[in-house]
A = this chain, B = another copy of it.
Amino acid sequence: MSFSRTTGRPRQSSRAMLEEAASELFLEQTYAGTTIGDITRRAGVSRTTFFNYFATKSDLLWVDVDAGLAALPAALAQCDRAEPVTVAVRHALLTLAAGFGPGRVPWAVTQYEVMATEGELESSALARFLVVTGRVAEFVAARPGFAADRDLAGRAFSSAVVAAAAAAAAEWAAAGVHRGDLAPYVDLAISPVCSGFRPVLDPR
């Protein structure tokens, strides 16, 4: 938790600068059509510094999504420990989904429409999926009274529920300009998963 460094050369650039330059270029040329060099040139920094702020070009597509997803641990942590696991996870995911509305549409969504067939997105998408799934699986496994012999069931539930949520997000994204809030989509998609796993995962 280091705040602003007092020593060393002060930063002349920032994630925000690069994100902004990238946003402009994505609108003009699409994601696939702009190179990292284009972005840094517009931002007025060297190509190398880009990698001081982002590990990957595709990270730019997911900045908004990642920001929303960052709230997951907190949402999981503040769940009632008495609740069944499945409903706890459902609540956490719905809280997360509530962060996304018509006003906040990530690049990954808009560029999805443009890229269509391109598999550019796919590669980076699974990385997010796995992170989220992993967090949920940890949460499930850490629940009091969770038997180790149900490990597979726990992981299956985590994967299934996150995949359902992702499917909902995709549908929401595909809804175009008329999409409203994300939460109802997610609720409809994940509820059956939760109810299906409830007898398996919840001891009573």
Contacts and interface: CB of A to CB of B under 8 A. Distances in A.
Interface of A: 119, 122-127, 129-130, 133, 151-153, 155-164, 166-168, 170-171, 185, 188-190, 192-197, 199-200
Contacts of A160: 160-161, 163-164, 167, 189, 192-193
B122 A153 contact: no
Residue of A119, A156, A167 contacting most chain B CB atoms (<10 Å): A156
Contact of A156 (B152, B156, B168): B168
- The dominant DSSP class at the A interface is helix
B192 A197 contact: yes
Contact of A188 (B153, B171, B188, B194): B153
B159 A167 contact: yes
Nearest to A190: B156
Contact of A126 (B129, B162, B170): B129
Contacts of A168: 152, 156
A54 to B, nearest CB: 15
Contacts of A133: 167
Closest 8 CB pairs of A and B: A196-B196, A163-B163, A123-B123, A156-B189, A159-B167, A126-B126, A160-B160, A192-B196
A159 B164 contact: yes
A156 B123 contact: no
A168 B152 CA distance: 7
